[in-house]
Chains A and B, each alone.
Chain A
Amino acid sequence: QVHLQESGPGLVKPSQTLSLTCTVSGDSITSGDFFWSWIRQHPGKGLEWIGYIYYSGTTFYNPSLQSRVTISMEASKNQFSLNLSSVTAADTAVYYCARDTITTNLAFHHWGQGTLVTVSS
């Protein structure tokens, strides 16, 4: 059973960089045809896909966030990470990491529990 767990600071100051890590168990992030994504949800709002890293290391980002987002992986730790630079209060959200289904790319079958990140001074 695939398990994903987000970790990182719950409070980030404006203009700084938000950094989160997703630790994966029950699967290897470098094996198989999977996309490893970050998705966020503003308080009381809907879901916004941030971007993915493919098992091969290829990345793709939401065009609205592309200039501020970097997703990377550390295969030896079976982790992938999100960096979001120059944050503002509008980046306050619950951040999820997720993996797609075996048969269908970018339909998100496995999710972490989510971590709330607040941007405030």
Chain B
Amino acid sequence: IVMTQSPGTLSVSPGERATLSCRASQSVSSDLAWYQQKPGQAPRLLIYGASTRATGIPARFSGSGSGTEFTLTISSLQSEDFAIYYCQQYNNWPTFGQGTKVDSK
């Protein structure tokens, strides 16, 4: 299953809303996770089950969607949120999107 993320780069100012998209080449139901990765660090699980926040993840992160279309929303971007975000499906053997880089406008 091919995962396609858009946009490739998203330029956002602190306090603004960021909306990231992920599309699956076939339905993955709600078997979708989102990760945040900062330079030199391992990815950090943010969302699983398309919309369930992982332990300790701030409420400004929310996920939605099912089937083939998914969205990660950061309601009010903080400086520590500048990073690369990946979606991943686990409906079949796991595959990741190519990532969306969120940087400062």
Chain A residues within 8 Å of B, Cβ to Cβ: 37, 46-49, 60, 62-63, 96, 101, 104-109, 111-114
Contacts and interface: CB of A to CB of B under 8 A. Distances in A.
A62 B93 contact: yes
B88 A107 contact: yes
Nearest to B44: A111
Given A47-B86, A101-B54, A106 B94 contact: yes
Contact of B43 (A37, A47, A62, A104): A47
Contacts of B90: 104-107
B10 interface: no
B41 to A, nearest CB: 8
User: Chain A contact residues: over half helix, strand or loop, or mixed?
Assistant: loop
A109 B35 CA distance: 9
A108 B96 CA distance: 12
Interface in B37-51: 41-45, 48-49
Interface residues of B, number: 21
Contact of A111 (B42, B86, B97): B42
Given A49-B96, A62-B93, A109 B42 contact: no
Contact of B33 (A60, A96, A107): A107
Interface of B: 33, 35, 41-45, 48-49, 54-55, 86, 88, 90, 93-99
Q: Which of A96, A107, A113 has the most CB of B within 10 A?
A: A107
Contacts of A109: 45, 48, 54-55
A107 B45 contact: yes
Contacts of B33: 104, 107-108
B95 A108 contact: no
Contacts of A62: 93
Contacts of A107: 33, 45, 48-49, 88, 90
B42 A113 contact: yes
Nearest to B42: A111
30 contacts: A46-B86, A46-B98, A47-B35, A47-B86, A47-B96, A48-B96, A49-B94, A63-B93, A96-B43, A101-B45, A101-B48, A101-B54, A104-B48, A104-B90, A105-B90, A107-B33, A107-B45, A107-B48, A107-B49, A107-B88, A107-B90, A108-B33, A108-B35, A108-B45, A108-B88, A109-B45, A109-B48, A109-B54, A111-B42, A114-B42
